[in-house]
Amino acid sequence: MGKVRRISGCVAAANAVKLADVDVICSYPIRPYTGIMSELARMVADGELDAEFIHGEGEHAQLSVVYGASAAGARTFTGSSGVGVTYAFEVYSPISGERLPVQMAIGDRTLDPPGDFGSEHTDAECCRDQGWIQGWASTQQEVLDMHLIYYRVGEDPRVMLPQFVCQDGYYITHILGEVDIPDPSQVKEFLPPYKNHHVLDPKNPMIIGAQIEPAMGPPLQYQRYQAMQAVGQVLREAHEEFARIFGRRYDPFLEEYLTEDAEVVIFGQGAHMVTAKAVAARLRNLGEKVGVVRLRTFRPFPTEEIRRRMSRFKAIGVLDNSVNFGISCNGGVLLSELRAALYDFGDKVKTVGFVAGLGGEVVTHDEFYRMFRKIQEIAKTGKVEQTAYWLPFEL
């Protein structure tokens, strides 16, 4: 059995990395994810974790170090925030393209400008199409669990893809929550050792990353696409196993809250959804049929799950905690993708977008009330006057 401690999201992530017996870690400082690395450095210094802890000379180096280490057969970990995430951009595709199941923690942070420490999902969302599995946790416990689940899924021979485990800066990285830290023996049962069959080994020489002729391009990209397609099923299996071994059950794709007879819901991901749930509960007390759907897996985007489970609502409001200047419908990427997923249902399901909490600003209860009112109004009138609203300026 594990033990329950009150720890931050950063410390929760570090505990997962230790439990996963990671071999190579590469760090570079940037708030707010830094706490993960200082905790890991402490674990290594105190002899609690046997790993090579490398101080990269930047985020680009961080990703490059774990690329090499993973290709040499090591389980690897790195992480970043904000401009650090984008500084490393070149290396994301080589990692997924060589099918290296590297894991990276993101403690979300606004991109510059403004020079702002606050949380925003823009950093990780920028990298959404690079062949990395991505999901947002909403509590410290979920952070720890997601890291373990993602190692298992990413390293599955059907998948072999890298993973982003994202947590909102400060709201999760720095706030304490109760976390059940599992016993290493449970983790051993859940997470088999990392085995890559295409490693750098002089006894079995292999060339990794050769140039190709154009005709070899489509099949290679198609294989990476198929790997991403396989993630859904592997996630399902991993969550089943996780529930069996650890006794905690999550829906792999969508957490539904008070949705059973809901007419309208707010859809979004990450820590702000905790506030959304609190507001939904208050509105329920007033007898209003509102609920919340929290996206847990952003990549691959669970289109089928959304079609099957969300087409029953009259109207959906989508919260985007990111900037996507010039995007369709003027909201964010979640609005865009949800609308695309529900396209076939046409007018039956109305959608509206909200851009809120930018720069790390709190999305207040009051703002969630206003969002719910807007969604209810749309459900009632059947009219969407504006595809998306920037809060607090437009709503």
Partner 1 sequence: MLERIPSIRKAPDEEYYVPGHRTCAGCGPALAYRLTAKAAGPNTIFIGPTGCMYVANTSYGCGPWRVPWIHAQITNGGAVASGIEAAFKVLARKKKYQGEIPHVIVFAGDGGAVDIGLQALSGMLYRGHDVLFICYDNESYANTGIQTSPTTPYGAWTTFTPAGPAVPEGKKLFPKDNPKVVAHGHPELKYLATASIGWPVDLMNKVRKGLNAEGPAYLHIQAPCPKGWQFPPNKTIEMAKLAVQTGMFQLYEYENGEYKLSVKMEERKPVAEYLKLQKRFAHLQPEHIEKLQAFVDARCAEVGITVPAVASAR
Tell me which residues touch partner 1 (CB under 8 A): 23-24, 26, 50-52, 54-58, 60-61, 64-74, 76, 90-91, 94, 193, 200-203, 205-213, 216
DSSP state of 299: B
Rank residues 49 and 355 by Cβ distance to partner 1 and give the closer one. 49
Closest distance between partner 1 and the C-beta of residue 185, in Å? 18
Query: In whole angstroms, how far apart are CA 188 and each of 14, 192, 194?
Result: 17, 7, 12
Contact status, residue 395 vs residue 370, Cβ threshold 8 Å:
yes
DSSP state of 28: -
Our CA dihedral for 118, 122, 126, 130, rounded to 10 degrees, sits at: 80
Rank residues 100 and 318 by Cβ distance to partner 1 and give the closer one. 100
Closest distance between partner 1 and the C-beta of residue 17, in Å? 14
Closest distance between partner 1 and the C-beta of residue 209, in Å? 3
Closest distance between partner 1 and the C-beta of residue 58, in Å? 7
Distance in angstroms (rounded) separating the CA atoms of residues 39 and 21: 15
Rank residues 4 and 216 by Cβ distance to partner 1 and give the closer one. 216
CA atoms within 13 A on the CB side of 124: 33
Euclidean distance between the first and the last CA atom of the chain, given in angstroms as a whole number: 48
Rank residues 24 and 341 by Cβ distance to partner 1 and give the closer one. 24
Contacts of 158 (CB under 8 A, 6+ apart): 227, 230, 233, 234
Rank residues 89 and 345 by Cβ distance to partner 1 and give the closer one. 89
Closest distance between partner 1 and the C-beta of residue 243, in Å? 29
Closest distance between partner 1 and the C-beta of residue 70, in Å? 8
Distance in angstroms (rounded) separating the CA atoms of residues 49 and 19: 9
Task: Quickly tell me which residue has 């706030």 as its tokens.
Answer: 175
Rank residues 157 and 219 by Cβ distance to partner 1 and give the closer one. 219
